[in-house]
A and B are shown apart, each in its own frame.
Chain A
Amino acid sequence: MTPFIFTRLAQSVLVLFIMSLLVFGGVNLVGDPVEMLINPEADQAEVERVIRELGLDRPVTEQYWYFLVNAFKGDLGDSFIFGEPALKLIIQRMPATLELALFSLFVSLVIAIPLGIYAGYKPESKTSKIIMGGSILGFSMPTFWVGIIFIMIFAVHLGWLPSTGRGEIGTFLGINSSLFTLNGLSHVFLPALNLALFKISSVIRLTRAGTREIILQDYITFARSKGLSEKRIVLVHILKNILIPIVTVVGLEFGSLIAFSTVTETVFAWPGMGKLIIDSIYNLDRPVIVAYLMIIVTFFVFLNLIVDILYTFLDPRVRIKGDSE
């Protein structure tokens, strides 16, 4: 058990180290940020001053070493564009991304679970076939394009919902979020639905597969023979048993919503970290690019580490296999 956790921890650290090399090395080999930052009429002395100020005159290995040392102190460098610490910029934008991801998770569960149960409960009906066909379509539709169509229909043509920004921000229990004002909710709805689209397709398939399995179980037959109404069987016996695995899987995949929010945030000009990274790539704002990638990679590595460790507690087979490794 302990050696298993230890090897996994060592692996996580190794992955982070390789990522930092890859990201830092890559970013520093591409483009010339000085050219973008400096007034084109600046003279040579001015150019050299800026290069020195940014530390770009040092060898890459030395820059990398400073980057590592500072990263351990929680300093991922200052943005070239904003002149503020990159970490601070990202943390400022994190709540917007989290609220978008959380809301879209909620939207996808609310839409997908009923549809999935229906498709699994009556697999041969026309509606179920339409639902399943729709889920393949959902898999195939490029998220950004659907976002554009949403904007066209709901914002440009019908004018029902706004298509850019985060709207008014309310405070509830000390948390600032646009989920707490009506105006904010109207802003978050379209991007969240857009981000949820992919999840909806996969949760429908998951729920349907689960329902089809559960329906064959003895306790459902027993419930029917007791004379319980179908409504009660679906709402209590099926729903309850299906919810646990689905919530687990979807919860574990929460990270992918954050990764995919880069696309949705760009389409809807949502002021989150995803939009920040895309803007920073355009502007060659190296510290922000490196900081964002390192933060999100760290997030994923530790999420997986925690999941792995939890599994060793929950599933003894993993433990045995891990120890023999």
Chain B
Amino acid sequence: MAIERNYYTIDPEGKLECMKCHVPLIKGKAKFMYLDNGFPVELPVCPVCGFVYVPEELALGKVLSVEKALEDK
């Protein structure tokens, strides 16, 4: 089992709100999948509808670098 990684912390807690369910996003379990690979991660998730949020700095930082590494495999 791969180690779960936490790349993002909601700070301050409660600053992100699900517009559909009107509840704050909490730290929740999610999975990135790319080119036959899967990575368990912890990301801001809506506890009601399950919307998983990928913040911009994460998408353009860690996510992009992992994508590039996998593309060159």
The judgment on whether A and B are partners is no
Report which A residues bind B (CB closer than 8 A).
Answer: none
> Which residues of B are at the interface with A, using a C-beta cutoff of 8 A?
none
